[in-house]
């Protein structure tokens, strides 16, 4: 009986502590927004520094108290080792600063942090610790919401909408912009960043401060990887177990049925992403280094463009995108590589890596049908797009370029048309035929599970395979000695039909509200729907209604028409009956 009473008391205390820490995390979030989002006086900053110390100290005390009152404290400590390891480092920092009077500003790395953030190293450390705990509580809220009776599609829709709303608020903060940004423009920019599109109504290089650009970069990274993927990753690494509902949500977002290996897949996704992005930063840094007087500025620009390129976002810190580097071979190749790798999809990258790393084993891992389709279609579309662009524009947009510049420009535009959003040529100077080529490539997009958009290259591959198979009189579709299930073709029809309906509907309304060329409006529509971000220059000229149409189109393009259909429809049902068949004449 005494043991039972002890367990009840323990649960009550833990419940109170959770609410207390949740409230503390909210207060810490408010303090961070005030510190970095507003221009404050020195006394106000000093009071905020004291607030950060109090909030951080409360987290330390509560975590230690939480560990003491638990009966299973050692098991809990092992399960939450990262949380307590970080807390232990904070305790050591407090002891070093306040007991041994250690001057962190004398240490080179902390001095550099102080110069970048314009805050004392001690304050920055506590801010990072508070941010770590805020992320933990965002994870907890996500876990709580995931347990409600909702479909994966609805959860995906709500998660992206929530981050867009948060991003809109952050972009409206005074320190985020150099101009007075309207709420509509902030919403447009946040949607474009989260949906990794890249369409802009204000110049990113001019209208946003470094703080605003970093907010955009965070939104791009969240949108590129997927909100649930991000929160689940942190959930794994802060020791929180995912519920069965969360695992189903993640399977849907990552397009995998390997429930038991979901944790390892998430880790592979994140480490693959960050490894490629870090590699891109290094290559871009040494490519750009001679053009910058400051190593810090060069590192920042390399960091920004590496993430933007891999996430196929198309945001740039240059007002002319990358037109000034149209003839820079090394830079073009690095960015093209990041764009292509980001557009292949995590499943494809993992399958290819397993195949290449297997060496000369007797039982080699085989390339899946999807991987083969993605690689063949990607290569084919890149070559076809480059050749057609070169032929169409060799005497027009590419007229004044050298032969090397012409080939490089054609290849880069072929790559970027596939949802990247960067450009090295003025798209307003392209012929209508070239714009139609770009629209077709943007409509197709990248691979499933990638950072890119569009109907996906596997969708168009399934459509073409079906046409060729039926044209030859076959009753099924076989690819690489595998039979493709009929459900795949039903999904293909749904995705293509919904994309076409959305594109044509938005294009029709834009022609009613905007006074622009129809081809330019169609280009803008498909660019938004395919989350590409390319424009002929009409985006800043759109009316408020036009901007709202494009915002909705970007959102639909990111979450996917098929996902939207699942979100607003009922659950799939298996019919228990079958009517007699009757033929309908086609053609």
CA distances from 469 to 157, 187, 466, 484 (A): 36, 45, 5, 12
Strands of 79-215, DSSP E = none
Q: What is the distance between the alpha carbons of residues 134 and 140, in angstroms, rounded to a whole number?
A: 10
Question: Hey, how many other C-beta atoms are within 10 angstroms of the C-beta on 156?
Answer: 23
Residue range(s) occupied by CATH 1.20.120 in the chain? 10-146
Q: 39-48, 158-167, 173-182, 350-359 — which is least confidently predicted? A: 350-359
Is the Cα dihedral 41, 43, 49, 52 positive or negative? negative
Indicate the SS3 state at residue 191.
helix
Residue 452 pLDDT: 83
- 478 phi, psi to nearest 5 deg: -115, 135
Please name the fold of domain 10-146. 1.20.120
Structure confidence by residue, pLDDT tens digits, 418-451: 888 899 999 988 999 999 999 999 999 888 878 8
**b/e per residue, 501-529, with b = 16+ CB within 10 A?**
ebbeebbebbeebbebeebbbbbbbbbbb
CA distances from 161 to 168, 183, 558, 564 (A): 11, 16, 11, 13
The answer to whether residues 492 and 466 touch, using CB atoms and an 8 Å cutoff, is yes
Q: 66-80, 237-251, 504-518 — which is least confidently predicted? A: 237-251
Q: Match 């759109």 to its residue by tokens.
A: 542
Structure confidence by residue, pLDDT tens digits, 95-122: 888 888 888 777 877 787 777 777 888 8
DSSP state of 582: -
Q: What is the distance between the alpha carbons of residues 452 and 381, in angstroms, rounded to a whole number?
A: 15
Question: Closest Cα to residue 554, out of 222, 181, 228, 161?
Answer: 161
**pTM, rounded to two decimals:** 0.89
Residue 259 has pLDDT above 60, yes or no: no
Q: What is the distance between the alpha carbons of residues 462 and 55, in angstroms, rounded to a whole number?
A: 55
Residue 262 pLDDT: 66
Residue 17 pLDDT: 86
442/493: higher pLDDT: 442
504/251: higher pLDDT: 504
Q: What is the distance between the alpha carbons of residues 286 and 463, in angstroms, rounded to a whole number?
A: 43
Indicate the SS3 state at residue 482.
strand
Residue 494 pLDDT: 84
For all residues of the chain together, what is the average pLDDT?
85
Q: 165-174, 259-268, 275-284, 433-442 — which is least confidently predicted? A: 259-268
């Amino acid at each position: 009986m005494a043991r039972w009473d002890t367990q009840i008391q323990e649960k009550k205390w833990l419940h109170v502590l959770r609410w207390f820490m949740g409230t503390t995390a909210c207060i810490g979030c408010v303090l961070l927004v005030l510190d970095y989002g507003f221009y404050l006086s020195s006394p106000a900053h000093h009071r905020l520094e004291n607030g950060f110390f109090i909030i951080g100290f409360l987290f330390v005390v509560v975590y230690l108290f939480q560990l003491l009152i638990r009966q299973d404290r050692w098991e809990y400590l092992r399960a939450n080792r990262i949380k307590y390891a970080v807390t232990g480092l904070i305790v050591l920092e407090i002891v070093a600063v306040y007991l041994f009077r250690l001057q962190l500003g004398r240490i080179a790395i902390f001095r550099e942090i102080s110069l970048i953030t314009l805050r004392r190293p001690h304050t920055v450390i506590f801010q990072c610790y508070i941010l770590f705990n805020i992320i933990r509580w965002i994870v907890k809220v996500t876990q709580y919401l995931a347990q409600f009776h909702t479909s994966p599609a609805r959860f995906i829709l709500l998660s992206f909408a929530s981050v867009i709303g948060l991003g809109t608020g952050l972009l409206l903060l005074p320190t985020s912009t150099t101009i007075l940004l309207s709420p509509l423009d902030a919403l447009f920019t946040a949607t474009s960043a989260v949906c990794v599109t890249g369409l802009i109504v204000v110049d990113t290089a001019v209208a946003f401060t470094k703080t605003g650009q970093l907010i955009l970069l965070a939104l791009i990274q969240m949108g590129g990887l997927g909100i649930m993927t991000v929160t689940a990753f942190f959930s794994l690494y802060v020791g929180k177990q995912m519920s069965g509902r969360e695992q189903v949500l993640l399977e849907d977002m990552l397009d995998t049925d390997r429930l038991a290996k979901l944790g390892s897949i998430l880790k592979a996704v994140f480490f693959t992403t960050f490894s490629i992005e870090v590699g891109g930063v290094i290559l871009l840094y040494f490519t750009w280094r001679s053009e910058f007087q400051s190593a810090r500025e060069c590192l920042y620009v390399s960091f920004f463009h590496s993430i933007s390129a891999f996430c196929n976002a198309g945001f740039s810190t240059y007002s002319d995108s990358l037109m000034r580097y149209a003839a820079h071979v090394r830079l073009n190749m690095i960015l093209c590589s990041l764009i292509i790798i980001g557009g292949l999809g995590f499943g494809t990258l993992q399958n290819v890596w397993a195949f290449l790393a297997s060496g000369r084993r007797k039982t080699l891992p085989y390339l899946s049908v999807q991987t083969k389709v993605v690689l063949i279609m990607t290569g084919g579309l890149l070559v076809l797009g480059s050749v057609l662009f070169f032929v169409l524009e060799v005497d027009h947009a590419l007229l004044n370029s050298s032969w090397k510049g012409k080939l490089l420009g054609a290849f880069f535009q072929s790559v970027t048309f596939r949802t990247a959003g960067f450009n090295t040529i003025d798209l307003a100077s392209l012929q209508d035929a070239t714009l139609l080529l770009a629209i077709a490539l943007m409509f197709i997009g990248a691979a499933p599970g990638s950072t890119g958009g569009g109907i996906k290259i596997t969708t168009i591959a399934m459509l073409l395979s079906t046409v060729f198979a039926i044209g030859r009189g076959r009753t099924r579709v076989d690819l690489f000695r595998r039979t493709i299930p009929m459900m795949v073709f039903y999904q293909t029809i749904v995705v293509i039909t919904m994309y076409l309906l959305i594109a044509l509907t938005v294009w029709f309304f834009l022609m009613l509200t905007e006074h622009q060329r129809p081809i330019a409006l169609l280009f803008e529509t498909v660019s938004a729907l395919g989350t590409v971000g390319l424009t002929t220059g009409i985006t800043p000229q759109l009316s408020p209604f036009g901007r709202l149409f494009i915002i909705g189109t970007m959102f639909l393009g990111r979450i996917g028409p098929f996902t939207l259909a699942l979100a607003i429809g009922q659950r799939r049902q298996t019919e228990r009956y079958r009517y007699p068949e009757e033929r309908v004449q086609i053609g």
